[in-house]
Amino acid sequence: MLDKLFIDGEWIAGGETLPVIDPATGLEFSRVACGTAADIDVAVEAATRAFSGPWRKTSGRDRAQLLHAIADLIDARIDTLAELEVRDNGKPLPEARWDIEDTAGCFRYYAELAAKLDDQQGEAIDLPTSDFGSRVFYEPVGACALIIPWNYPMLMAAWKVAPALAAGCTCVLKPSELTPMTALELAAIAAEAGLPRGVLNVVTGLGAVAGQRLSEHPDIAKVAFTGSVVSGRAVLHSAAGTLKDIGLELGGKSAAIVFEDADIEAVVEWVMFGIFWNQGEVCSATSRLLIHESVADQILERLREEAERIPLGSGLTPGTLLGPLVSEQQLQRVRGFVDRARSDGIALLTGGGQPEGMEVGYFFQPTIFVDVPKSSELWREEVFGPVLAVRRFNSEADALADANDSDYGLAAAVFSKDKDRLERVARSLDVGIVWQNCSQPTFAEAPWGGTKQSGIGRELGPWGLQNYLSVKQVTDYQSARPWAWYLASD
Ligand code: NAD
């Protein structure tokens, strides 16, 4: 089953296949179908057909039941799914279990919102006249293209599939070619839960082929994309042909600002978590650290100690906190940033290479550079690995200016005991998400997304559902005749 495409409720053998590599060993552990543009066309046809059938007219409560059933099946298979996620992505098993729990939680959250959609009788709009009455209805947008990355494979699928189904849309999901396994499991689960055929289709394959065709396909109403800025730009171009609705969740270079009055030990824990969690392969990773100069040396010393103590290993080895990077290519990318920073003379506090004795698999040490020049690529570009860039500041204004001086605007963290300062800084940061005295907590209920080149739109919460709903105005005639109304209003 896992080497096939899931289209129109059936498992279909593709032609070519792609290897799936375990990042802890560098060895192939499975193969998946390499979907072609023609496969995408068949999947979009199935999604379009399913959308014009009874699915879009199902009640929100019926869809909620299906979403709950999907969540229950995910929970029931958490052991298998979490292990598969580790083998696919490399992350430590407890983190993978967390992801799978969150995946089920996301389906449950959107089940609740789906049920509430039934209550809408058309929201009345206040008009400046009693001659007409206007109401608003929310309707599913149509067949959607859902394209996701490799860092949280199943959770990223849930962030899109759950609200799309809750809204009554149909979809074609294309997982990353690096981590396709749990998306296929999700297809199997959805089918078992009773989702009608064609409502969720999963096509594995390459971004430049399957992803590109999906984002340009004329019958796709909406593209929801999560990935890099480069691919996001390509998707925006492809979607422009038929002016599709689009959501882009892209990269980041998020800052953590530490003021002199912050709780130092709490800061150390959150900063470590903010950059080394999930191997730093997190779009919102707080990969730029700005520390007030009066506490910088103290914090840096503690960060060095903690970074050198992180247990590295296979995600399946108990106690591992940092697994391998996802692929050979990602390892080369991270190493490239680190080697260039070192040869440019940027001060390395700790890490900087593959850990000794761990040359098999794609392991990289937790790495910290200090006093990183603002103009350097290490400060400005997303590394997407366990690499922290640190600078010192001596005033709130300087810290804010440095934090905002970025092409990205996904998230930021701020640490202080001064509540007024926390609020002031939060309101001045040009980002979509601000964490106060913490880093990375994420909730299905709260909006997710960024400003500037971090993307377009928001996922999660009710905003995530709105992405898949089209707003319809219905205006009815109450009393006036057209010309009488026009002349009277003159
Ligand atoms: P990527 O852009 O290489 O790939 C993402 C997906 O897009 C994959 O499924 C890929 O096959 C597909 N794709 C690639 N080129 C395409 C094209 N031309 N047309 C259509 N689809 C195409 O990204 P990645 O390496 O998988 O993920 C890492 C990136 O994702 C990082 O930049 C990270 O910040 C970002 N990300 C953002 C968020 C967020 O919520 N903002 C969350 C997770 C990851």
Q: Is 177 in the pocket of ligand 1 (CB under 6 A)?
A: yes
In the block, tokens 């640490």 appear at 415
Q: For position 490, what pLDDT does the model report?
A: 56
- 93-117 and 60-76 helices cross at what angle (nearest 10)? 170
Q: Which helix (H) or strand (E) holds 189?
A: helix 181-193
Pocket mutation for ligand 1, best pick of 102, 144, 176, 178 (most atoms within 8 Å of C-beta): 176
432: DSSP letter: S
Structure tokens at 285: 């990773």
Cα Rg of the chain, angstroms: 24
Asked if 283 is an active-site residue, the reply is yes
Cα–ligand 1 centroid distance for 303 (angstroms): 30
459, 155 in Cβ contact below 8 A? no
Distance CA 176, CA 211 (A): 9
371, 391 in Cβ contact below 8 A? yes
Instruction: Name the active-site residue from 249, 281, 382, 459.
Output: 249
Cα–ligand 1 centroid distance for 249 (angstroms): 9
Asked if 249 is an active-site residue, the reply is yes
83, 154 in Cβ contact below 8 A? no
Cα–ligand 1 centroid distance for 385 (angstroms): 15
Q: How confident is the model at residue 3 (pLDDT cuts 50, 70, 90)?
A: confident
In the block, tokens 């002199």 appear at 260
Atom of ligand 1 nearest to the CA of 229: 32
Structure tokens at 449: 């997304």
Q: Is 451 in the pocket of ligand 1 (CB under 6 A)?
A: no
Q: For position 63, what pLDDT does the model report?
A: 98
CA neighbor of 127 nearest in space, from 459, 473, 484: 473
The tens digit of pLDDT for each residue in 386-406 reads 999 999 999 999 999 999 999
Higher pLDDT, 3 or 30: 30
The tens digit of pLDDT for each residue in 59-75 reads 999 999 999 999 999 99
444: DSSP letter: T
Cα–ligand 1 centroid distance for 429 (angstroms): 25
The tens digit of pLDDT for each residue in 314-338 reads 999 999 999 999 999 999 999 999 9
List the beta bridge partners of residue 200: 171
**Half-sphere CA count of 438, side-chain side, radius 13 A:** 5
